[in-house]
Amino acid sequence: MLYPLKNLFHRPAIRMGRVDNSLIQTTRLRNAQFVSFMSQGDSLAPMSMDRYDTKLRRRKRIKAALILGVIIGFAWIIIESAHAISMF
């Protein structure tokens, strides 16, 4: 009982609400330096989307195979159970 009351009256350390970003000043020079820095590094290197798409397709096929296996397993159990019941 104490834990729900504690959560009910808990005051977060960070106030939720509007964030005042007026103290952060961005100028064209600062943005230009940042873009220059980012373009010099390899952080903007093009990513191969083919590998990502292949990974997604592989996951989808594995998921479908697992679901199909579970369905076949349940069907086999039901058929064997019906066969065993019919024998007695």
**38-81 pLDDT per residue, tens:** 677 666 566 666 888 888 999 999 999 999 999 999 999 999 99
17 — alpha (psi -120 to 50), left (phi > 0) or beta? left
Backbone phi and psi for residue 22, each to the nearest 5 degrees, phi listed first? -70, -20
Tokens of 69: 């296996």
Residue 41 is classified by DSSP as S
To which residue do tokens 């064997």 refer?
A: 80
> Are the C-beta atoms of 40 and 33 separated by less than 8 Å?
no
Rounded to two decimals, the pTM is 0.43
